[in-house]
Amino acid sequence: KRRFRTLRWTWRLTYLSALAGVAYIGYGVYQDRNPEPQAEPDPSKKTLVILGTGWGSVSLLKRLDTENYNVIVISPRNYFLFTPLLPSCTTGTIEHRSIMEPIRTILRSKKASVKFYEAEASAVDPDRKVVRIFDTSEVKGDMIETEVPYDMLVVGVGAENATFGIPGVREHSCFLKEIGDAQRIRKRIMDCVETAAFKDQSPEEVERLMHMVVVGGGPTGVEFAGELQDFFEEDIKKLVPEISDRFKVTLIEALPNVLPSFSKQLIEYTESTFKEEKINIHTKTVVKKVTDKTVEAEVTRADGTKEKVTFPYGLLVWATGNAVRPVVKDLMDRIPAQKNSRRGLAVNEYLVVQGARDIWAVGDCAVAGYAPTAQVASQEGNFLARLFNNMARTEALESKVRELSSTLNLQPGNTAEISREIEEYERQLRRIKDVKPFHYSHQGSLAYIGSEKAVADVTWFNGNVAAAGGLTYLFWRSAYISMCFSTRNRLLVINDWVKSKVFGRDLSRE
């Protein structure tokens, strides 16, 4: 009887918490759809210009009290992109819109309104304190290029794809950084499959078309290779069986192993899992040239000799890391203190661009001594929001102290009361002025490696825990679901996962 009662209570509690969860989500959705009226920006406040709508800039915007500044956001992309799930979009496991959040929705939730210009910054003039911007969209108005003045500037433009000037890379390969890249890859995979299945296609051509080559064994290359092999095993093989024995994924890496930033045991686990999944790994292989149908590389053999190898391919995905964007390079050239910086804007411990006044940098375009990851960029954005909120409060309190001090002589009767007020403001000032320098707290690294397996190097009670396999994959999924930008994103991603598991991925080529 007691067991039955316990069961009944457990059931009631589960039911109530589910109900509370639904109510919480419902309330969040209602608030998003019916936002409070926004305050207009105060023209007497400083103009804070933020470049970019990626991890760094959006994390800053999320926590920034926009009532303190006239905030202007400039980016060629009018949405935030949840990059960790981008490799899943290349095969249709997740639909691209599920990991995009419109910047207009994000800005509408702020207390004071924020201006957004969909444009690319082409140059920053630190002397005149202006940003030159131009419209990159397909539809153009009369005004396509102009200048935006700033009092404070945050550069969060990320990085572009590194090609190291290798001939043919830009012309013939697909990158994997933006939504457009993932869509291009998805289309190309299906194009290769359908062309390989074309009547009387020669066996050599089928082999080439079905050979998917990935250059770069960092997390981007590894995750994409895993997703691709899943797509083939779970869907293509069943629906286009006639070419299935020709499908092959090859991963080319210049270093002696893939995932160099992960611990040794996870590297070994990934390499052995890839072997089981029949993904070919070619390490110590440096790509030197790309043509429309082949990748030419140089491999270093065990005895130290070098040999030239050629890989014919149908799809080539280039994932060899980051390079500095032209607008960042241009700004670095204008600041003498940036002369020795190579990988981006060198910043100090408060993320101030060294040698510049009133310019901060976050994320992949900033060199603060950390890896170019979303984790770092978002923590930097959060830090700047705290810093700017504090700066605004400090300025407001200081002006109050100045004002009260100047009235001290004019109102001799109230001296004690005014002094008390000044003392209180000064006490608040002492408390908030103390902003500690930026400190990055590493939560760990996660990567999906295909076949419902993932690897994780997680920080646990000041130590490191390395985990791999199916359970880690469940952890990977739940971690990314909880990190998604909004409830809408979370529901869409869960829906996509269920949809692709139940019905399979969509093979139609758009």
Based on the shown chain and the rule CB under 6 A, indicate whether residue 163 belongs to the binding site for ligand NAI: no
**Contacting residue, 120, 207, 223, 271, with ligand NAI by CB under 6 A:** 223
Identify which of residues 53 and 270 has a Cβ nearer to ligand FAD in the complex. 53
Long-range contact pairs involving 255-259 (C-beta distance under 8 Å, separation at least 24): 255/217, 255/283, 255/284, 256/283, 256/284, 257/217, 257/283, 258/217, 258/218, 258/221, 258/222, 258/283, 259/217, 259/218, 259/219, 259/222, 259/447, 259/455
129 binds, among ligand FAD, ligand NAI, none (CB under 5 to 8 A by kind): none
325 binds, among ligand FAD, ligand NAI, none (CB under 5 to 8 A by kind): ligand FAD
Question: Which residue is at the shortest CB distance from ligand FAD?
Answer: 54
Q: What is the SS3 string spanning 91-103?
A: CCCCCHHHHEEEH
Identify which of residues 309 and 498 has a Cβ nearer to ligand NAI in the complex. 309
Identify which of residues 158 and 355 has a Cβ nearer to ligand NAI in the complex. 158
Q: Is 485:101 a contact under the CB 8 Å cutoff?
A: yes
Based on the shown chain and the rule CB under 6 A, indicate whether residue 364 belongs to the binding site for ligand FAD: yes
The SS3 assignment for 307 reads: strand
Tokens 């999924």 — which residue? 477
Q: Is 467:460 a contact under the CB 8 Å cutoff?
A: no
Question: Which residue is at the shortest CB distance from ligand NAI?
Answer: 218
**Contacting residue, 87, 217, 221, 314, with ligand FAD by CB under 6 A:** 87
Based on the shown chain and the rule CB under 6 A, indicate whether residue 121 belongs to the binding site for ligand NAI: no
**Contacting residue, 372, 444, 469, 504, with ligand FAD by CB under 6 A:** 372
**Contacting residue, 46, 172, 177, 400, with ligand FAD by CB under 6 A:** 177
Identify which of residues 53 and 338 has a Cβ nearer to ligand FAD in the complex. 53
For residue 303, with 0-12 CB atoms within 10 Å meaning exposed, 13-18 middle and 19 or more buried, which class applies? exposed
Cα distance from N-terminal residue to C-terminal residue, the chain: 60
320 binds, among ligand NAI, ligand FAD, none (CB under 5 to 8 A by kind): ligand NAI
Q: Is 505:234 a contact under the CB 8 Å cutoff?
A: yes
Based on the shown chain and the rule CB under 6 A, indicate whether residue 229 belongs to the binding site for ligand NAI: no
Residue 262: which residues within 8 A CB-CB, separation 6 or more?
270, 445, 447, 455, 457, 466
- For the bound state, the minimum distance from the C-beta of residue 479 to ligand FAD, rounded and expressed in Å, comes to 9
**Token pair of 379, please?**
């923590």
Identify which of residues 46 and 177 has a Cβ nearer to ligand FAD in the complex. 177
Based on the shown chain and the rule CB under 6 A, indicate whether residue 51 belongs to the binding site for ligand FAD: yes
Q: Is 196:210 a contact under the CB 8 Å cutoff?
A: yes
149 binds, among ligand FAD, ligand NAI, none (CB under 5 to 8 A by kind): none
Q: Return the residues of window 438-457 that contact ligand NAI according to CB under 6 A.
A: 445-447
Closest CA to 345 of 320, 327, 321: 327
- For the bound state, the minimum distance from the C-beta of residue 354 to ligand NAI, rounded and expressed in Å, comes to 22
